[in-house]
Chain A
Amino acid sequence: MKTVAQTNETATLRNKSKFSFNKMDGNILRLLIIMFTIFIVASITKPDTFLSLANFLSMEKQLVEYGLMAIGVGIAMIAGGIDLSAVYIANLSAIVAGLFMKTFASAVTGTEQILFIVLGILLGLLTGVVCGLFNGFLIAKLRVPAMLATLGTMQLYMGIAIIMTGGSIVSGLPQPFAQLGRTNVFQVFTLSFIVYLVIVAFFSYYIGKTKYGMKLYLLGTNEKATKFAGIKNHKIIMRAYMLSGVISASAGLLSLARINSAKADFGSSFVMLTILIAVLGGINPDGGKGKIYGIFLATIIVQLMSSYLNMFPQISNFYRDMIWGIALILVLIINYVLNKKSEAKLMRLTSQ
């Protein structure tokens, strides 16, 4: 009798599973609701300043850099770790690329200049790869806790950048490169925003649909169990931090193009912001849960909030850090409550 019931259950297993998979992902729905609510409130209360092309272009430009770094931090968090060095990898990559371009590409013109600019970009990305692999090496091979390892390398990468620049700003990049930062597509999109969208789409797919992604989620859930399941943990971890490094480097390069300069300690406040965004986007700080496109939605939400707050001159910038701090703690509390609820729901669903 029992076996008959079981076969019936498994027969409907596949159809049911698709259905509930969508249903279970309530976090994305929640983020969409928050995003549209803020958008509508801002549009109604500040129609002329908020609903302007200038505002949209400005928001696009601002969010790209920390939005990218949040994806890198998010990948590290899915692996059960964290990447505090993302911002400084971005700065170091921008400085390496910037110095290279200044030295080689400024002196020449035409195709030769383009070639050196491309080489500079590749060198910047390579810097990100190397920095990320070093983080991964410390964490996967030497078993340093991710929090401490990247806290250390954060200081290290900033230190290297300071030595390379003597602490000053790298500026005066070749024109064609700086032009990239000013290019708009269809008038409403900045080029950097398009690049960002491509990276988001790629990593949503890569982390969500490939065997690497699945192993990453499982490793983030239980590192010991992946080891017992015959997975080479250190390879997965090294690659996660390498990806975080290269994504951060691309953020650094886009920033270099946008403001036409780079500095060793640029964007320090983003360290905290990237963590806030990753957690708001549904990445579980314990590892193993969350979606890359959730981070994308969270980035948009944070930028909408930030721009909207800017439209009130009476709210000073001094409040900003406090507001983000409160936001992070609130998100953590809300996630805790919601997790408890969904656990209780699962319990009801599964108990006979």
Chain B
Amino acid sequence: MSENLISVKGIHKYFGGVHALKGVDLQIKKGEVHCLAGENGCGKSTIIKVISGVHKPDGGDIEIDGQKYDYMTPTESIKQGIQIIYQDFSVFPNLSVIENLAFNKVLANKKKFVSRKEFRRIAEEAISKIDFDVDLDALVETLPVADKQLIAISRALLDNAKLIIMDEPTTALTKKEVKRMFEIIERLKKEGVTILFVSHKLEEVFEICDSVTIFRNGKNVISCPVSEMDEKKFSYHMTGRHFEEDAAPKTRNIGGTVLETKQLSAQGFNDVNLQLRKGEILGITGQLGSGRTELSLALFGLLNPDKGEIKIEGKEVKIPNPAKAQELGIALVPEDRLTEGLFLPQSIKRNIVITRIDELSNKLGIVNTNSIDDESAKWVRDIGVATKNDEFPVSTLSGGNQQKVLLARWIASEPKVLILNGPTVGVDIGAKHDIHNLLRDLASKGMGIIIVSDDVSEIINTCDRVIVMQKGQITAEVKEADLNAKTLANYI
């Protein structure tokens, strides 16, 4: 049992200026459930992609079942029985369950003509392996998230998977669905399938895994059996800090109400009543698809409400578009920084000053180059963007520094309400710390801040009050006094 199915040693990987993997080792024994843990941006996803052949490493050895490779290719990795269940499940939403299940197999046989019967037989075989009960003729897009995931798992098993890598499989699942998922994992384990379970949720790790490897900042910091791990050790290795130190004092003067919604409803959420006060940091949490993102979009004019009202400083307002939101003093740091936030090939400077460009131009619309240089240099300095030159494309920055650029952009517009959706996703620990401090600092100066996040430790460390959303509704509100990981986990 001690034989390694996969052993990678000294893997390096660079993306532009970012050194994503700094010589990591990872050993997975045959037949075990191995947990790969670490905060966002620590290199978990990158190592998975190196193993599955998506990324070519810039150095290091890969050994699979005793065979050595310089790098993997997707075909070779599938041939070796490595299957990945990605967060987005990689299913074809517009096809039926049968087609999704049977596709790979039929394609691999290189048959020109296929019969519906053959399709059905393969599909039935697939779901029987995990006792998965589903309507084979249903379109995949109509199924709940958990079922899509099980389809992906069944399909992986059809391809004789020896190792199934699950990339944060429980993010979008309810408690009940997680339980079913774990039963399936146990079953697979009995059948001799090795599982690499990627997660940063410690309860799950203790429940299901045999051993654990923790990554931090592109390096593996510890690898041991779960029995030798405890909660404290786990969070210390994840964050590099002792947990107690992290909870910074939250003494702030909280003022009058700055933002209020009444019965606000739109596609994705219903009857949301919330209040945000000056100087307060309000957390909004919930699973993927709970309506948290839609709510933030509606407050920024990117999603039109069906009914309800929004009040800014007591006055009812309509927010038809982001330009109006900006005018009203609302700012949103979006969820997906690469597609919704940044102008990747453009300079850091332009990325920062965009929200201030009107003020930095004269009446004829001619921009004042010197003011722009000063403005950009000021933010790069104040917010600590690590760059040699703000004329460089913003794509050359690391995730954390890119996020700082986005923050600078919106803080520069001097908003009354700053909404951040996943402010530290894919951000390294140092930058995360800086960003949290910055947010606390802004709040103490009277800004109302909303943090939308599913990162429990982030919510606990920064927020004064937390709203939990489920299926488009607010299901709980937790005050600071009761704010800890356990109570929060119960609500979600």
B302 within 8 A of A: yes
- Interface residue A111 (Cβ < 8 Å from any Cβ of B): no
Please give the distance in Å from A291's CB to the nearest CB on chain B.
Answer: 14
Q: Are A224 and B339 in contact (CB under 8 A)?
A: yes
Instruction: Check B396 against A346 for contact (C-beta < 8 Å).
Output: yes
Residues of B within 8 A of A10 (CB): 377, 380-381
Task: Looking at the assembled complex, report how far the CB atom of B293 sits from the nearest CB atom of chain A, in whole angstroms.
Answer: 13
Decide if A222 is an interface residue (CB 8 Å cutoff): yes
> 13 A-B Cβ contacts within 8 A?
A3-B384, A210-B361, A212-B365, A224-B339, A225-B343, A227-B302, A228-B340, A229-B354, A230-B323, A232-B323, A347-B14, A347-B16, A351-B16
Chain A binding surface SS class: helix
Which residues of A are in contact with B by a Cβ distance under 8 Å? Answer: 3, 6-7, 9-10, 13-14, 16-17, 20-21, 24, 209-212, 214-215, 217-218, 221-222, 224-232, 288-289, 346-347, 349-352
Asked if A351 and B17 sit within 8 Å, CB to CB, the answer is yes
In this complex, the interface size class of chain B, counting residues with CB under 8 Å from chain A, is: 35 or more
Give the Cβ gap from B74 to chain A, nearest Cβ, in Å: 23
What is the bound-complex CA distance between A229 and B339, given in angstroms? 12
- Tell whether, in the assembled complex, residue B377 and residue A211 are in contact, meaning their CB atoms are under 8 Å apart: no
Asked if A209 and B366 sit within 8 Å, CB to CB, the answer is yes
Cβ distance B391 to chain A, nearest Cβ, rounded Å: 5
| CB closest chain-A residue, reference B369 | A209
Q: Is the CB of A209 within 8 A of B389?
A: no
Chain A residues within 8 Å of B384, by CB? 3, 6
Q: A218, A229, A346: which has the most chain B beta carbons within 10 Å? A: A229
Residue ranges of B at the interface with A (Cβ–Cβ < 8 Å): 14, 16-17, 19, 300, 302, 321-323, 325-326, 332, 334, 339-346, 349-350, 354-355, 357-358, 360-361, 364-367, 369, 373-374, 377, 380-381, 384, 386-393, 396, 409, 413
Interface pair A20/B381, CB less than 8 Å apart: no
* Neighbouring A residues of B355 by C-beta, 8 Å: 229-230
**Given A17-B373, A17-B391: A210 and B367 interface contact (C-beta under 8 Å):** yes
Q: A230-B323, A230-B326 are in contact. Are A350 and B345 (CB under 8 A)?
A: no
Q: Are the C-beta atoms of B396 and A350 separated by less than 8 Å?
A: yes
A-B contact count (CB 8 A): 126
CB contacts (< 8 Å) of B373 on chain A: these are 14, 17
Q: Once bound together, how far apart are the Cα atoms of A3 and B409, in whole Å?
A: 21
**With A3-B384, A288-B346 in contact, do A24 and B365 touch (Cβ < 8 Å)?**
no
| Interface contact A228-B341, CB-CB below 8 Å | yes
Nearest B-chain residue to A230, judged by Cβ? B326
Given A13-B380, A228-B322: A350 and B16 interface contact (C-beta under 8 Å): yes
Whether A13 lies near B365 (C-beta < 8 A) is no
Residues of chain B lying within 8 A (CB to CB) of residue A9: 386-388
- A17 near B393: Cβ-Cβ < 8 Å: no
Contact A347 B322, beta carbon cutoff 8 Å: no
CA distance A228 to B296 in the complex (A): 12
Nearest CB of B to A143, in Å: 16
A346 touches B381 (CB 8 A): no
Q: How far is the CA of A162 from the CA of B310 in the complex (A)?
A: 54
Whether B346 pairs with A221 at a CB distance below 8 angstroms is yes
Nearest CB in chain B to that of A348: its residue: B17
